[in-house]
Amino acid sequence: MTTTIALAGKGGVGKTTIAGMVIKYLAQSQPGPILAIDADPSSNLNMVLGLPLEWTVGDIREDMLAQVKESLTAGGAAMGALPGGLNKRDYLDREIRSALAEGDRVDLIAMGRPEGPGCYCAVNHNLREVIDGISRHYRYVVIDNEAGMEHLSRRTTRDVQILLIVTDPTQRGLVAAGRIAAFQREMDIHIEHSYLIVNGLRGETIPAPLQAQIDSLGIPFLGAVPYDAGLSELEFSGRPLVDLSDDSPVYRSVAEMLRRIL
């Protein structure tokens, strides 16, 4: 059985860092392979994980559509087909598997750039089938989302067992977290459990006004991740964030949260 963990939150709150710590914990303490899906167009989860990234799903999708358009322009017998008569789903399956960045315990798919103009409904349907088929071979799937969650229902039909809504300790971040929690009820996929994480907390206790706003959201509060200047030092060194020491307060706090809910 595959357990899917998704992360969401306003841009700049540290979702990708938390996703990296989640993946680090799973790789160290849970059995089975892990698939990381970077659904943020900026595509930097590979840097956090120390994995190469040559092609994204967006690159593959646009390349395929360019080939289809060229075939249509040529007006051959198989108008709109791919060279060699390969159908679109098989082409996507082959190319996405080839673009998979493979690690020791963790593999990575990056979604990359968003759709351009035009209708992508049929392409997204094929993408869902391909990515869902790949995901079935992993014990855990961790999805690092862009600021919203709209694409989750467009690009996967898998249920999400755990949604981690990440915020920084600001009013804007908490407002965005509340909107995400409300939006999940309108999605086509089922989310079993949602939790709120406050990232980058300075000090050992949550200020009373911040705690009051957290309580008002009605989202189970999983915990706070402390601010750590060591993260910036690691970034500047060029080393992946998963190399962060197991003794780091950031990693220890995320690991403790996951121990409670997995």
Residue 259, both tokens: 């121990």
At 48-92, the pLDDT tens digits run 999 999 888 888 988 888 887 777 776 654 555 676 677 888 888
Cross-strand bridge partners of residue 193:
162
One-letter identity of residue 247: D
At 166-222, the pLDDT tens digits run 999 999 999 999 988 888 777 777 899 999 999 999 988 899 999 999 999 999 999
Instruction: Determine the pLDDT at residue 77.
Output: 45
State yes or no: pLDDT of 151 exceeds 80: no
At 213-255, the pLDDT tens digits run 999 999 999 999 999 988 878 877 878 999 999 999 999 999 9
All domains in the chain, ordered by first residue: 3-261 (3.40.50.300)
pTM, entire model:
0.91
